[in-house]
Structure 1
Amino acid sequence: MNNNIETYIVDSFTDTPFKGNPAGVCVLSQTLLNAQMQLIAKELGLSETAFINQIEEQNIYSIRYFSPVMEIPLCGHATLAASKVLFEIFPEMEKIHFKNIQGLDLIIKRYGEIIEMEFPIYDTVPQNAPEELLKALGIEKISNSEFNKETNILLLEIESSELLKNLSPDFEKLKRSHNSINGVLVTAISQIDTYDFESRYFWPWSGTNEDPVTGATHTFLSKYWSTRLNKKKMNSYQCSERTGFMEVELISDKTLTIKSEAQIVLKGALRI
């Protein structure tokens, strides 16, 4: 007999279907094995799939994230997608607590179509970028290179968002250029009036080649740009092919909020 899992595909960080970053969301009624969740994520083939399971009262859920190749501790767009699904299932719900594998309590609130997520703030430290990595990205000059240990991501600032938009990495060379990071985030000040900074995230080591819009990188990217721009509230634009946007605000030394929208584009039953 087949077990059916209520499953969604949700485009996050966008107000338009088929833009932003698509995530899978599986609403569980029973616990799955890690191997089962990994196989489902690989089958769906999206950059991340979130698995949510009610653990206490109606608005408290466990959440786990799997890329097609590994478990990811924290994922912003899949959290946003899971929130959108629960707010759709329970229209009266206004607040959600997600407990992730790191023990974080991710607090989610709804304001009409806008969903607000509370995420931790992380620091970065200076770290040199290998020359081979820069060549693989197609970058000749960087303004800064830093590293975030919680996400194991290298941050590179370059001088122009136009250069950022036009990057076309050699992903095979990129993967060979470093053996101890989960991904590389490239960022620049935005030349668009309505945005403060832009970014693109490449992670052939642990997921897909490029993540269209990435919430988790803003755990350290927001503080990075807050220091440079002397702002607490900023608008971020991810200039990938699909594009996406969010508003970030540092509300304390340890916490920021990420606000954006999401669009459910598919609902079905996964049979296992």
Structure 2
Amino acid sequence: MKTYFVDSFTNEKFKGNPAAVCLPEEELDASTMQNIAMEIGFSETAFLKQITGNTYSIRFFTPKIEIPLCGHATLASSKIIFSSTSFDSIKFINCDNVELLIEKADNKIQMQFPVYDTEETEVPQEMLDALGISKIVNKRYSPNNKIILLEIESTVELANLKPDFTALIKSHTGINGVLVTAVSDNENFDFHYRYFWPWAGTNEDPVTGGVQTFLTKYWALKLNKTKLNAFQSSSRTGTMSTKLLQDKVSILGEAVIVLEGEFIL
């Protein structure tokens, strides 16, 4: 099976978020795809199947579960298709039959994802203690993503968080992850964020595009602007530009292919 490793949301190798992109020649069952994702070990592995022309089905697997939506693995998959075909646009269809429209944008790739609302929520003190957070500005919940959003005051505090992941998992159940964010103190960006998800994937996702389905709207309303620049302050770091449309969010990013090979099934 043709397999690629791609660093997403960066123009440098060994930065951004690595994703695996698999192009199976034959139909694979879910358990096989799950085993492959676990073997590769990246936060997400994408499996593509061409339906017709520039339309593909896409499925995403973490080392633990299948998820319906993933930004950086979609970006990585788009990079592979654009690099090997003459297409200027792609339509991905995920496991929930949601259409993801992708277009070339000069040397970058533009993705359109759905927009989801957040709601008020309660956060246990045990979660804040596990994250090492003493004070929060706001707390929200995205039911579509099963992700808790915590806004804190400082990007420095955000970058320096060193969660106790054993305690973090025990602090809450029924969620996929917790996203911590802060307004940027850098004129090149509007907000910073980090995403911790030991419940459903890895301890920390290096650069996360899928959370922009609710995070872009959160900051767009708060900052009163529709075009935003985001910085993910993980150890690998990553950047992206987003734009809030009516019922979509446009995510603009870059990706770098770092490996091409064959997975022996």
d(CA) in 1 for partners of 2:209, 2:103: 16
Cα-to-partner distance string for 1:153-184 (whole Å, 9 max, x where unaligned):
00000011111000000000001100111000
Corresponding position: 1:122 with 2:99: no
The answer to whether 1:208 aligns with 2:171 is: no
Deviation of 1:29 after TM superposition, in Å, equals 2.2
- Give the counterpart of 1:225 among 219, 222, 244: 219
Where does residue 87 of structure 1 map in the other structure? 82
- Residue 109 of structure 1 corresponds to 103
1:97 to 91, 99, 118: 91
| Counterpart code for 1:10 | V
CA deviations 1:65-103 (Å, max 9, x no partner) are 00001101100000000000001111x210000000111
2:12 counterpart of 1:12? no
Matches of 1:256 and 1:176, distance apart in 2: 33
Q: Which runs of 5+ in 2 are unaligned?
A: none
Tell me the matched-pair count.
265
Tell me how far apart the structure 2 counterparts of residues 102 and 193 of structure 1 sit (CA, whole Å). 38
In structure 1, stretches of 5+ residues that fail to align are none
Q: Secondary structure at the match of 1:204?
A: coil
1:69 and 2:64 are equivalent in the alignment:
yes
Counterpart of 1:135 in structure 2 is 129
* Structure 1 residue aligned with 2:241: 247
What is the alpha-carbon distance in structure 2 between the residues aligned to residue 10 and residue 181 of structure 1? 28
Is 1:202–1:209's contact at 8 Å kept on the other side of the alignment? yes
Letter aligned with residue 34 of structure 1: A
* Amino-acid identity (%): 52
Offset of residue 146 of structure 1 = 0.4
The code of the aligned residue for 1:68 comes to: P
Residue 87 of structure 1 aligns to a residue in which SS? Answer: helix
Q: 2:150 aligns with which of 148, 151, 156?
A: 156
2:175 is the alignment partner of 1:181: yes
Letter in 2 for 1:177: S
- Give me the whole-angstrom Cα distance separating, in 1, the residues matched to 2:154 and 2:111: 29
Of 246, 259, 269, 2:262 maps to 269
CA RMSD of aligned residues (A): 0.6
* Cα offset, 1:28, TM superposition: 2.2
Q: Which aligned segments of 4 or more residues in structure 1 are displaced greater than 6 angstroms?
A: none
CA distance in 2, matches of 1:108, 1:29: 23
Q: Distance in 2 between matches of 1:172 and 1:106?
A: 35
Report the counterpart of residue 259 of structure 1 in structure 2. Answer: 252
Instruction: Name the amino acid aligned to 1:232.
Output: T
* Deviation by residue 1:48-71 (Cα, 9 ceiling, x = unmatched): 000000012x20000000000110
Q: Give 2:118's aligned amino acid.
A: T
CA drift at 1:234: 0.4
Q: 1:34 & 1:180 partners in 2: Cα distance?
A: 22
> Secondary structure at 2:130's aligned position in 1?
helix
Contact 1:136-1:174 within 8 A present in 2 as well = yes
Using structure 1 for the length normalisation, give the TM-score.
0.96
Q: Secondary structure at the match of 2:7?
A: strand
Map of 2:138 onto structure 1: 144
1:36 is paired with a residue whose SS is: helix
Assess if the C-alpha contact under 8 Å between 1:146 and 1:154 holds in 2: yes
* C-alpha contact (below 8 Å) 1:30/1:53 kept by paired residues: no
Aligned to 2:191: 197
